[in-house]
């Protein structure tokens, strides 16, 4: 048995080339869209991190001020003035 090689016609070769080109372009577009989405997500995460950092700093400041107030109220004079502000004698 002899096998003969079949040659593809020029039109079929053109169709294959066009199909491969379209598939490649679609793949590139898909990858670019994924890349853009990832950059947007990174930007959102960075802005959220910055907001959380500022919130942490604010809460640390409030804790520091609160501990000063707590020390003052633990002393007798602070507790006395706190009681006086609520009408106790």
Give the pLDDT of residue 2.
55
Note the pLDDT tens digit of each residue in 30-89.
999 999 999 999 999 999 999 999 999 999 998 888 887 777 777 777 778 878 888 887
**Cα 15 to Cα 22: distance, rounded to the nearest angstrom:** 10
**Cα 57 to Cα 47: distance, rounded to the nearest angstrom:** 15
Give the pLDDT of residue 50.
97
Give the pLDDT of residue 35.
98
Contact yes or no for 79/70 (Cβ under 8 A): no
Give the pLDDT of residue 4.
66
Residue 15 to residues 10, 11, 22, Cα–Cα distance (Å): 9, 6, 10
């Amino acid at each position: 048995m002899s096998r003969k090689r079949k040659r593809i016609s020029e039109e079929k070769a053109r169709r294959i080339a066009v199909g491969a080109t379209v598939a490649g372009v679609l793949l590139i577009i898909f990858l670019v869209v994924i890349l853009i989405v990832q950059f947007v997500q990174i930007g959102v995460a960075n802005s959220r991190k910055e907001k959380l950092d500022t919130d942490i700093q604010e809460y640390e400041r409030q804790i520091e001020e609160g501990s000063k107030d707590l020390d003052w109220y633990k002393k007798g004079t602070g507790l006395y003035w706190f009681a006086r502000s609520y009408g106790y004698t």
